[in-house]
Amino acid sequence: MNPPVGTPFFFYLLSATVLIGGVLVITRKNAVHSALALITALLAQAGLYLMLYAPFVAGVQIILYAGGIMVLFLFVIMLISIERSQKERQFNKQWLVGIAAAAALGGLFIAVYTKGKSLFPEGSLTYAEAGNTQGVADLLYSQHSGIYMFAFEIASLLLLVAIIGAVVMAKKRI
């Protein structure tokens, strides 16, 4: 397996895409534009996963997030009319408090990462991509090393509850 080429360049390109996408999501008036920006951010993030040698997570990100969840979002945006909400006020009255809280959280992040910088001395490790999917499957299903098997079952239960919940919520008359 060859080492990746141009890692810094692609990292900054993809991060810029993710961040610009994120900013557009929270600033656009039109929900469809927000959704498209979010899709771009999600795809760029799948690229970041590939750079972190997590191809399976990247694939799941594309197929589930970009191809599944976001289609659901777009579908719902089109079902409910949005013309009216575009002309209204976009930010609620507590926006100042919200920004202040976010700034406080940001300060906390900065503090933590400047203090804890020495904890992560070396990050540029190279690992073969082959076997990643098999490794994830081992942790999820294997007889001996499958320590997340129970959690997996719980997750499937969660999905079942979500399906029933969504049907019950969205149905006019049950």
Partner 1 sequence: MHAIVEYIRGYLASDQTPGAAGNWFWATVYILLVFVGLSIAVIAMNWLERKILAHMQVRLGPMRVGPHGLLQPIADALKLLLKEDIMPAEADAVVFWVAPFIVVLAAFTVFVVVPFGPTHAITDMNIGVLFMLGVSSLAVLGIVTAGWASNSHYPLIGALRSSAQMVSYEVAMGLAVVSVILMTSLHGLGLYGVGGAASADTGTLSMIGIVQAQLEQHEWFIFKFFPLGLIGFFIFAVAMVAETNRAPFDLPEAESELTAGFHTEYSGFRWSLFFLAEYSAMIAVSSIAVTLWLGGWLRPFPNAWAGPRWDFFFSLFPGITFLFLGGLCFFSAARMPKHPYFRIQTLGLTGFGATLALIGLVLFLPGVRERVGDIFWFSAKVAAFMYLYIWYRGTFPRYRFDQLMKVGWKVLLPTGFALLILTAVLGFVEPPVAAWLRGVL
Partner 2 sequence: MEAMLHITTLHYLVLGAALFLLGVIGVLTRRNVVIVLMSIELILNAVNLNLVAFSRYWQGIHGSTALHGQVFAIFIITDAAAEAAVGLGILIAFFRNKETVNVDEVNLLKW
Question: Rounded distance, CA 77 to CA 25, Å?
Answer: 14
Residues present in the chain in total: 174
Q: What separation in angstroms does the CA of 15 have from each of 39, 72, 109, 167?
A: 14, 25, 18, 37
Which of positions 29-58 make contact with partner 2 (CB under 8 A)? 31, 34-35, 38, 41-42, 45, 48-49, 52-54, 56-57
Compose the 99-138 pattern: x for residues touching partner 2 by CB under 8 A, - for all others: x-xx--xx--x---x---x--x-xxxx-xx--xx--xx-x
Give one DSSP letter per residue of 17-64, joined into a string: HHHHHHHHHHH-SSHHHHHHHHHHHHHHHHHHHHHTT-HHHHHHIIII
Q: Which is nearer to partner 2, 117 or 143 (CB)?
A: 117
Neighbours of 43 (CB within 10 A): 19
Indicate which of partner 2, partner 1, none lies near residue 2 (CB less than 5 to 8 Å, by partner kind).
partner 1
Q: Does residue 7 bind partner 1 (CB under 8 A)?
A: no
Compose the 12-31 pattern: x for residues touching partner 1 by CB under 8 A, - for all others: ------------------x-
Which of positions 61-80 make contact with partner 2 (CB under 8 A)? 61, 64-65, 68-69, 72-73, 76-77, 79-80
